[in-house]
Amino acid sequence: MKMTMDLHTHTTYSHGLGSIEDNVKEGIRKGLEAMAISDHGPGHLGFGIKPGALKQMRRELDALQEKYPQIKLYLGIEANILGRDGAIDVSEEDLGLLDYVLCGYHFGSKPGKWTRDLPVHLFNLLNRWTGGFEKKARALNTEATVNCLMNNRIDVLTHPGAKGPVDMLEVARAAEKAGTMLEINNSHGHLSEEELKICMLTKVRFIVGSDAHKPGDVGRYKEALKRIVQAGVPLERVANLKEGME
């Protein structure tokens, strides 16, 4: 099996450990044909990129593309779903700098409008801490995710179900309609085998992401592959894996 492209890698621009060049070198070492740098959107209170950082990242990546023509380099972002209306933390101007938009829900993102969006965070945290409130958290997360997919051009929904419960069938249907790929994340356990089976009831497409936070993890896909095999996902539905030598 071979991973052809890894769109989900973090660098020191958010809370990854390596530089963009460190990740690129590892991508080349792993034999990737293409990869993206996709750091956390600026709305994340702890890990978000600084406002304006994407311009600098674009310049750095374009220069590295000239230095390393053997791999195709893309600038992405892992945007945050901010709240119930599905707004994301990337401006129109910044969207113009990007090749790919990945997006996911994270606990540490600042709600778009506090009074309206705070319940999403509140019920996810209550659910996490107490094991209760799952139904309410699931309803809010599903509403936020579906709105996000419908109202934005999102290429990849990262780790669905990892940071809060969602109605996976509803999310997969929305992703299919929007043309968004669902990520099979190698670092988090989601999509899980069970979630993959639910998603396969639709025609949604999948993509494996390493979610590397250190250069050595770029291009890793083995954990995701285990779940793909267990769930019986046909390889043609996964955008970036193909049969062949590593």
Stretch that binds Zn ion, among 45-53, 63-71, 148-156, 208-216 (CB under 5 A): 208-216
Stretch that binds Zn ion, among 47-55, 96-104, 171-179, 194-202 (CB under 5 A): 96-104
Query: Which residue's CB is nearer to Zn ion, number 104 or number 161?
Result: 104
Integer-rounded Cα radius of gyration of the chain: 17
Tell me: does residue 211 bind Zn ion (CB under 5 A). yes
Q: What length is written for the chain? A: 246
Mapped onto helix, strand or coil, the DSSP state of residue 203 is coil
Long-range contacts of 47-53 (CB under 8 A, 24+ apart): 47/14, 47/15, 47/108, 48/14, 48/80, 48/89, 48/109, 49/13, 49/14, 49/77, 50/13, 53/13
Size of the site for Zn ion (CB under 5 A): 4
Instruction: Report in angstroms how near the CB of residue 67 gets to Zn ion at its nearest.
Output: 25
* Amino acid code (one letter) for 167: D
Mapped onto helix, strand or coil, the DSSP state of residue 242 is strand
Tell me: does residue 26 bind Zn ion (CB under 5 A). no
Instruction: Report in angstroms how near the CB of residue 229 gets to Zn ion at its nearest.
Output: 23
Instruction: Report in angstroms how near the CB of residue 16 gets to Zn ion at its nearest.
Output: 9
* Amino acid code (one letter) for 224: A
104, 112, 160, 215: residue in contact with Zn ion (rule CB under 5 A): 104
Tell me: does residue 39 bind Zn ion (CB under 5 A). no
Q: Are 153 and 103 in contact (CB under 8 A)?
A: no
Query: Which residue's CB is nearer to Zn ion, number 18 or number 104?
Result: 104
Query: Which residue's CB is nearer to Zn ion, number 112 or number 209?
Result: 209
Ranges assigned E (strand) in 30-180 = 34-40, 72-80, 102-104, 156-157
Stretch that binds Zn ion, among 25-33, 133-141, 157-165, 200-208 (CB under 5 A): 157-165
Q: At what angle do helices 20-29 and 53-67 cross, to 10 degrees?
A: 40
Tell me: does residue 78 bind Zn ion (CB under 5 A). yes
Tell me: does residue 76 bind Zn ion (CB under 5 A). no
Query: Which residue's CB is nearer to Zn ion, number 111 or number 164?
Result: 164
Instruction: Report in angstroms how near the CB of residue 11 gets to Zn ion at its nearest.
Output: 11
**Adjacent-strand bridge partners of 104:** 80
* Amino acid code (one letter) for 163: K
Return the structure tokens found at 175. Answer: 């992703």
Stretch that binds Zn ion, among 51-59, 112-120, 147-155, 207-215 (CB under 5 A): 207-215
Contact residues toward Zn ion (CB under 5 A) are: 78, 104, 158, 211
